[in-house]
Amino acid sequence: MKSQFIIKEATAADTHYAEVIVEEIANSAKIRGTGIAKRTPDYVAGKMAEGKAIIATTKDGQWAGFCYIEVWSHGQFVANSGLIVSQNFRGHGLAKQIKEATFNLSGKKYPAAKIFGLTTGAAVLKINSELGYKPVVYAELTQDEQFWSGCKSCVNFDILTAKKRQNCICTAMLYNPAWEKNQSPKRTQWKQRELDKDLKLFERWLKFKKTILLKRKDKNNGK
Ligand SMILES: CC(C)(COP(=O)(O)OP(=O)(O)OC[C@H]1O[C@@H](n2cnc3c(N)ncnc32)[C@H](O)[C@@H]1OP(=O)(O)O)[C@@H](O)C(=O)NCCC(=O)NCCS
């Protein structure tokens, strides 16, 4: 299955895929019933033209997956955002390959930057953990106003505001290249058993967090 895809740095020649990517991101968020920072096709196309995105296609040119890079706090932080795999190609390790390619591109372009992401998904938590990310509190992420204003289009933005930007439904994960210098072996090497156990715990934690935060939100809305 892997060899059926081309995974590469996107360029201006790929901008015609922007519409289908944005549509898939929005549809998937609706299906999952989760919040999401909205992206426009122009924004996604811009990322491709700037060389700040990874795209996957089939060999005959069908779009398969995408992820892009955002730079915050004057280059101190990099976010790998908008990970999406076409519903036609899920469950074959494509997200893992795209995320790894985006992670490597981030390291190549911004070697000193901390790489982070916000996620509600167990798949992303797993992929990030394998890349060496660790869960962190929101205070360890960029405090760049522009980054957080991206959350305004998310259905859970009122929770983020009520929690004074210290918590929300998403889990924050961060990779710091400085860890490489102090750590042996180089990256956090998870034992599969530990990771599976932690993921089960994460899913239970997320469920609990949603119950508490969303219940409070409904109460405040008078439901
Ligand atoms: C999440 C998403 C990107 C995964 O894409 P994918 O190509 O199917 O994922 P992969 O096949 O690379 O799976 C990576 C790992 O996550 C696991 N995984 C995949 N989907 C999962 C799910 N829904 N729940 C738990 N684990 C999952 C896989 O088993 C795999 O682990 P393994 O290496 O031990 O087998 C895809 O489902 C998607 O685009 N969803 C909608 C958008 C989204 O949720 N994006 C993330 C926003 S933070």
The domain ranges of the chain are: 2-220
Q: How does residue 25 score in pLDDT terms, banded at 50, 70 and 90?
A: very high
Q: Where are the beta strands (DSSP E) in 46-162?
A: 53-58, 63-72, 77-85, 114-119, 134-136
pTM of the model: 0.87
Q: Give the angle subtended at the CA of 158 by the CAs of 99 and 27, to the nearest 5°.
A: 45
- Signed CA dihedral, 50, 176, 198, 165: sign only: negative
Q: How does residue 210 score in pLDDT terms, banded at 50, 70 and 90?
A: confident
Query: Does the pLDDT value for residue 206 go beyond 90?
Result: no
What CATH fold (topology level) applies to the domain 2-220?
Answer: Aminopeptidase (3.40.630)
Output the pLDDT for position 2: 47
Q: How does residue 179 score in pLDDT terms, banded at 50, 70 and 90?
A: confident
Output the pLDDT for position 133: 94
> Which has the closest alpha carbon to 106: 142, 135, 77, 84?
77
Ligand 1 test: best mutation among 83, 100, 199, most atoms within 8 Å of CB?
83
Query: Does the pLDDT value for residue 159 go beyond 60?
Result: yes
> Closest Cα to atom 43, ligand 1: which residue?
84
Q: How does residue 221 score in pLDDT terms, banded at 50, 70 and 90?
A: low
> Closest Cα to atom 21, ligand 1: which residue?
123
Token pair of 2, please?
Answer: 């892997």
Q: Which residues line ligand 1 (CB under 6 A)?
A: 28, 83-85, 90-96, 119, 121-124, 126-127
Q: How does residue 196 score in pLDDT terms, banded at 50, 70 and 90?
A: low
Token pair of 105, please?
Answer: 């591109």
Share of the chain above pLDDT 90, in %: 65
Ligand 1 test: best mutation among 31, 84, 201, most atoms within 8 Å of CB?
84
Q: How does residue 7 score in pLDDT terms, banded at 50, 70 and 90?
A: very high
